[in-house]
Amino acid sequence: MYTLVIGNKNYSSWSLRGWLLLRQFDIHFEEVRLPLYSETFREKIKDYSPSGLVPTLVSGDLRVWDSLAICEYIAERHPEHHCWPEDEEARALARCISSEMHAGFFQIRNSLPMNIRRTRSIDASTPELDKEIARVSEIWRTCRQSHSEGGKFLFGDFSIADVMYAPVVLRFKSYLIKVGTVEEEYMQSMLSLTSLQEWIADALAEEEIIELYEQ
C-alpha cells in the first residue's frame, strides 16, 4: 500500500508526475493533499518528506521524495507494467529526455508556471524561453516520428517519459503555446487520458489561490 503526498493539483507540476504514473498504471495508493504555502503544509510535510517537498511516496517505512526517483522506484517494484520502454535503445532515450526535463527547462518553469485554470497567452516571450519551447517541440516530434507505429505516446506505449512531460503539455495548453502538427497531436493524446482528465477536474475544483502562480 502506497501513500502519495502531493500539493495543489492546479499548481504542483512535480506532484502530477508521481500521481499520474500511479493512476495511469492502476497502482493503488492513498492520496494526501497538502495545499502549498499553507499552515497545513508547514505543519504536516515533515511527517512525510525529509526534504520538506512534494511529491513524496510513502512505502512502508521508506520515503521517496523526488518525482523521478518515485518513477524509478515504481518501475522496479512493478516490472509487469513496463513503465519504461521495453526496447533497450528506446529506454535509453526515454531516460535521457526524462532526465533533461527533470534537470532543466528553467525558463519554462519560471515563465510558464503550471496553472490549469489559466487560458491566455503570455504578454511577451524571450529568446531563452522560445529556445526551450523549441527544444521540447523537437523532443516530442522526434520521439513521435520514430515510434508512431507503436502507439500515440512518445515511445508508442505510455511510459515514464510521458509522465515527465505531462505538466509541460498542461502549461502549453494554459498559455496557448503554438506547436507543430505532430506535437499538437501528442498533446491531444495526453489530454485525452482519463487519468489526466481526472487531475484537471480536481484542479479546477480547488479553491486555493497562490498569487505567485497567478501573475
CA dihedral 52, 197, 31, 78 (to 10 degrees): -90
Strand partners, 62: 59
Torsion 111-170-92-147 (CA) sign: negative
- What's the fold here for domain 88-198? Glutathione S-transferase Yfyf (Class Pi); Chain A, domain 2 (1.20.1050)
Tell me what pLDDT residue 212 has: 84
Domains of the chain, residue spans: 2-81, 88-198
Which of 105, 84, 87, 113 lies closest to 171, judged by CA?
113
The per-residue pLDDT for 199 is: 98
CA distance 13 to 18: 9
Is residue 46 classed exposed, middle or buried when 0-12, 13-18 and 19+ CB atoms within 10 A define those classes?
A: exposed
* Residue 77 confidence (pLDDT): 98
User: 10-residue block means of pLDDT along the chain (215 residues)?
Assistant: 97 97 98 96 95 97 97 98 98 98 97 96 94 98 96 98 98 98 98 98 96 85
Please check whether the two domains, 2-81 and 88-198, share a CATH topology: no
Top-tier CATH class for 2-81: alpha beta
Please tell me the predicted confidence (pLDDT) of residue 125. Answer: 94
